[in-house]
Amino acid sequence: MGPALGFAILIGLASVYTVATVAWLAAGYCLLKTMANRRPGVRLWSARVGFFPPNIVFRPDLLTDRGRFFRRRFAQAGLVFSAALAAGLALHGLVRLLA
């Protein structure tokens, strides 16, 4: 493997894992905002959400419109994180194949 190809793969890996980190942080933020934007009277630690606050993501009927907006953003950030992680693993496999 030539030095130019190695440098390009290194830049690719750094970019992919940076995107994955930012997507992970965005997902965490959106999850917190989703939990904060629930309908009035809905308790986070209750049987309706299985006594685990992040479960409110799976119950859109308990969320306000703003909560549903952040729920969609949470799902999008999760998909971006998964895709970036898969791309990073694919690049790692390419490096192992070329080495």
51: containing domain: 3-98
Confidence class for position 99, pLDDT limits 50, 70, 90: confident
Q: List the one residue out of 61, 75, 79, 68 whose CA is nearest residue 34.
A: 68
Tokens of 61: 């009927």
Instruction: Please name the amino acid found at residue 67.
Output: G
Q: How many CB atoms lie within 10 A of CB 65?
A: 7
Query: Can you give the pTM of this predicted structure?
Result: 0.90
Structural domain total, the chain: 1
Q: Where are the alpha helices (DSSP H) in the chain?
A: 3-36, 65-98
Instruction: Please name the amino acid found at residue 53.
Output: P
pLDDT score for 42: 93
CA distance 33 to 53: 12
